């Protein structure tokens, strides 16, 4: 496991002082893939460099399996760094070395015998599905294969932490999917803690167990992927799973975004809601899929002529979190943010006057 504690990094002094990372705290458990996302300039590369101590943090700690790496001397650090394998966007392979020789590189520095090295390199290339490419040079491999060689090399010293710094960012979607599958396999088979730094939201959705959003050096939101996707009010959840535009919203006088808030939401909740409210429910948009073994979905529903408090309460009874975005001009107009169980908030908001556009979104989520 890796713990980042109160980690800060500043560059410059006086008027030119820039705080690039500000007091970051997070942990990546053994067997967990923890993604850090953020826009360009958020501090992701700096974080990666501080985690493997290529850059010394200005303050705070990087603790790997209980050992505080930030307090070690350069000599001690060279040894401790073996516990962190790193893969970069650029595979960084030596063009004049074969795949096998590239993987062997970290072992060369350890003075391992030739026989041991051959055995270990063979195991590693096999592990990443490239046993047959051992004698190939980087230019004879695809981008995805080169990245696999990079992963094999990162694993050569049997690290417990794998740091992936935009490792899939230069790859096509198929290669990205294959690398993501490999990382998940390695996480499970080798009990790795994987810190996956990227700007690609789609990849996070495929790979992460947990996610943190970095912005201007701060973690602005974090949590388990499924929890974030489940939360109708999570900005990060919404960024990870953008909601598509909906059709027909103008016909309904209120549009709701709903999320499965309980593990046992009934599959026919739309029918149940319609029966309870005695009105038709328009499903304006929806998507349901499996994420990390949980069923996560989004739906947008339109409801005409029912008091928002009643809708909110009924959704709550069905185990759904809900957000009322808009009501059409014909009825009282309001913008409400509430979980379906928080009827008081919905009631207060319903009394307010606000926007006119009718667009509501519903996120539907349920753990299988």
Q: Shortest approach of ligand ADP to residue 70 CB, angstroms?
A: 18
Q: Out of 35, 37, 43, 159, point to the residue binding ligand ADP (CB under 6 A).
A: 43
Q: Shortest approach of ligand ADP to residue 336 CB, angstroms?
A: 35
- Phi/psi of residue 295, each to 5°? -90, 120
Q: Which is nearer to ligand ADP, 117 or 213 (CB)?
A: 213
Contact range with ligand ADP by CB under 6 A, out of 39-47, 101-109, 300-308, 320-328: 39-47
Q: Which is nearer to ligand ADP, 39 or 280 (CB)?
A: 39
Q: What CA–CA distance (Å, rounded) separates 354 from 77?
A: 58
Q: Could you say whether residue 38 binds ligand ADP (CB under 6 A)?
A: yes
Task: For tokens 């999570």, name the residue.
Answer: 234
Print the binding letters for residues 46-65 with ligand ADP: x by CB under 6 A, - otherwise.
Answer: x-------------------
Q: Could you say whether residue 220 binds ligand ADP (CB under 6 A)?
A: no
Q: Which is nearer to ligand ADP, 219 or 338 (CB)?
A: 219
For 129, half-sphere exposure in the C-beta direction (CA atoms, 13 angstrom radius) is 13
Contact range with ligand ADP by CB under 6 A, out of 43-51, 108-116, 172-180, 280-288: 43-51
Report yes or no: 200 and 147 within 8 Å, Cβ to Cβ. Answer: no
User: Can you state the percent helix, strand and coil of the chain, rounding each to 5?
Assistant: 35, 30, 35
Structure tokens at 25: 């705290």
The secondary structure of 117-156 as a DSSP string is: HHHHHHHHHHHTT-GGGTT--GGGS-HHHHHHHHHHHHTT
Q: Could you say whether residue 42 binds ligand ADP (CB under 6 A)?
A: yes
Q: Shortest approach of ligand ADP to residue 50 CB, angstroms?
A: 9
Q: Could you say whether residue 11 binds ligand ADP (CB under 6 A)?
A: yes
Contact range with ligand ADP by CB under 6 A, out of 37-45, 202-210, 312-320, 354-362: 37-45
Best CA proximity match to 87, nearest among 197, 181, 212: 197
Structure tokens at 298: 């989004």
**Which of positions 148-187 make contact with ligand ADP (CB under 6 A)?**
none
Q: Which is nearer to ligand ADP, 4 or 42 (CB)?
A: 42
Q: What CA–CA distance (Å, rounded) separates 225 from 280?
A: 33
Alpha carbon 292 to its chain's center: 12
- Phi/psi of residue 280, each to 5°? -70, 150
Q: Could you say whether residue 24 binds ligand ADP (CB under 6 A)?
A: no
How many residues bind ligand ADP (CB under 6 A)? The answer is 11
Q: Which is nearer to ligand ADP, 38 or 302 (CB)?
A: 38
Q: What CA–CA distance (Å, rounded) separates 38 from 21?
A: 13
Q: What CA–CA distance (Å, rounded) separates 128 from 368?
A: 31
Q: Which is nearer to ligand ADP, 198 or 362 (CB)?
A: 198
**Which of positions 294-333 make contact with ligand ADP (CB under 6 A)?**
none
Q: Could you say whether residue 40 binds ligand ADP (CB under 6 A)?
A: yes
Q: Could you say whether residue 14 binds ligand ADP (CB under 6 A)?
A: no
Q: Could you say whether residue 343 binds ligand ADP (CB under 6 A)?
A: no
Structure tokens at 264: 């046992």
Q: Could you say whether residue 45 binds ligand ADP (CB under 6 A)?
A: yes
Mention every residue, 6+ apart, whose C-beta is less than 8 A from residue 162: 84, 85, 86, 87, 154, 155, 183, 186, 192, 193, 194, 195
Task: Name residue 299's beta-bridge partners.
Answer: 258, 286
Q: Shortest approach of ligand ADP to residue 285 CB, angstroms?
A: 32
Binding site for ligand ADP (CB under 6 A): 11, 18, 20, 38, 40-46
């Amino acid at each position: 496991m890796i713990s980042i504690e109160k980690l800060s990094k500043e560059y410059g002094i006086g008027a030119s002082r820039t705080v690039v990372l500000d007091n970051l705290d997070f942990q990546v458990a053994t067997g967990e893939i923890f993604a850090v996302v953020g826009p360009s300039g958020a501090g992701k590369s700096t974080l990666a460099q501080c985690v493997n101590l290529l850059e010394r943090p200005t303050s705070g700690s990087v603790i790997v399996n209980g050992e505080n790496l930030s307090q070690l001397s350069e000599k001690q650090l060279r040894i401790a760094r073996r516990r962190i394998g790193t893969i970069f966007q650029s595979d960084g392979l030596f063009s004049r070395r074969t795949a096998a020789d590239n993987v062997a590189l970290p072992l060369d520095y350890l003075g391992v015998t030739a026989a041991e090295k051959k055995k270990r390199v063979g195991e590693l290339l096999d592990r990443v599905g490239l046993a047959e490419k051992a004698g190939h040079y980087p230019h004879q491999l695809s981008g995805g294969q080169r990245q696999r060689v990079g992963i094999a090399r990162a694993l050569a010293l049997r690290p417990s932490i794998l740091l992936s710094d935009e490792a899939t960012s230069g790859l096509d979607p198929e290669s990205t999917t294959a690398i993501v599958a490999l990382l998940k396999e390695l996480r499970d088979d080798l009990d790795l803690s994987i810190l996956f730094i990227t700007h690609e939201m789609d990849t996070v959705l495929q790979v992460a167990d947990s996610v943190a959003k970095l912005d201007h050096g701060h973690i602005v939101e974090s949590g388990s992927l499924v929890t974030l996707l489940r939360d109708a009010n999570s900005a990060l959840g919404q960024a990870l799973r953008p909601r598509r535009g909906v059709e027909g919203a103008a016909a309904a006088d209120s549009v709701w975004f709903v999320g499965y808030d309980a593990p046992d939401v009934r599959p026919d909740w739309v029918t149940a809601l319609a029966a309870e409210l005695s009105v038709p429910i328009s499903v304006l948009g929806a998507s349901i899929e499996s994420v990390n073994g949980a069923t996560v979905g989004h739906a947008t529903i339109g409801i005409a002529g029912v008091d928002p408090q009643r809708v909110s309460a009924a959704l709550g009874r069905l185990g759904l979190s809900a957000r009322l975005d808009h009501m059409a001009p014909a009825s009282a107009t309001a913008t409400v943010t509430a979980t379906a169980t928080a009827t008081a908030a919905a009631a207060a908001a319903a009394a307010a006057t606000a926007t006119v556009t009718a667009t509501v979104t519903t996120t539907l989520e349920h753990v299988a």
